[in-house]
Amino acid sequence: MSFENQVVLITGASAGIGSACVEYFAKQGALLALVGRNEKKFGKIVRKIKGYGITNEPLVIIADVSVDSERIISETIEQYGRLNILINNAGFSIPGSIETLKMDDYDAMMATNVRAVVELTQQAIVHLVETKGNIVNVSSVAGITSNPNILAYSMSKAALDQFTKCAAMELAPKEVRVNAVVPSFIDTDFYAGHGLERGGDEYSALVEANINAHPLERIGYTKDCVNAIAFLAKDSSNFITAVLLPVDGGISSKGAF
């Protein structure tokens, strides 16, 4: 197994892309440190991976990435003694345009979607240098396309993309790679923050619209993102850094006509 006994730290691990990463890396024999705020959800995830016969008990860290970066890294190192892969997945969106955006919402999104990634990376560097490890950030096509009513979220992901490339250049001499996946519409509970519950009529309409909008004529699923994250994290990708890998069915390259 390509990730056997590698220590993988995953933020936002209790739902969506994060929990799908947990299942994948657990099956690959990784030693997991899982970060999130929902202890109840983690209980379900741990029971699920144990059901696969996986004996490596993951380290669950109940924390807010925007304020607990030092503790997250220290508890991971205390448990495992090293860190091989950091997956910065935690993030969220609150709708708002330039006219309606509340600055408290702006600050919260920037704190989680950008500042937390910077701080966790800073805390992790010394350990990743020791293992020649790597970082995979989870961005969004919102950072490279322009859409109404998600101003701060789009700004945060554009900042994350630039951080990914700059950090990759700075850490390359230390043999630490930094890349990002750039998903479009992925079928998760992410859109609940916009009042769109999965299975509801509005969500179904959004799914249909995205099927029509994507050149591949389907929406994305968590497995699509996990496969891309795993590809970038593998040792076999050790000549790949500073890449923003679209996982978007071609939508970010789609022209206006």
Domains in the chain, please, with CATH? 7-184+221-247 (3.40.50.720), 192-219 (no CATH)
Mean pLDDT of 178-204: 88
| Closest to 38 in 3D by CA, of 26, 46, 50, 27 | 46
Determine the Cα–Cα distance for residues 225 and 231; give it in Å rounded to an integer. Answer: 10
Reduced to 3 states (helix: H, G, I; strand: E, B; else coil), residue 170 is helix
Quote the pTM value. 0.95
Separation of alpha carbons 142 and 183, rounded Å:
9
| 127: nearest Cα among 67, 80, 173, 172 | 80
- 199-205 LR contacts (CB < 8 Å, sep 24+): none
What b/e readout covers 85-98, taking b as 16+ CB neighbours within 10 angstroms?
bbbbbbbebbbbee
Amino acid 212: pLDDT: 93
pLDDT higher than threshold 70 for residue 256: no
Identify the band that residue 1 occupies on the pLDDT scale cut at 50, 70 and 90: low
The helix (H) or strand (E) run that includes residue 33 is: strand 31-36
Q: Is the pLDDT of residue 257 over 60?
A: no
The answer to whether residues 200 and 158 touch, using CB atoms and an 8 Å cutoff, is no
**pLDDT reported for residue 197:** 79
**H runs (alpha helix) in the chain:** 16-27, 39-50, 69-80, 103-110, 116-131, 151-171, 201-213, 222-233
User: What share of the chain in percent tops pLDDT 90?
Assistant: 87
Q: Kindly list the catalytic residues.
A: 153
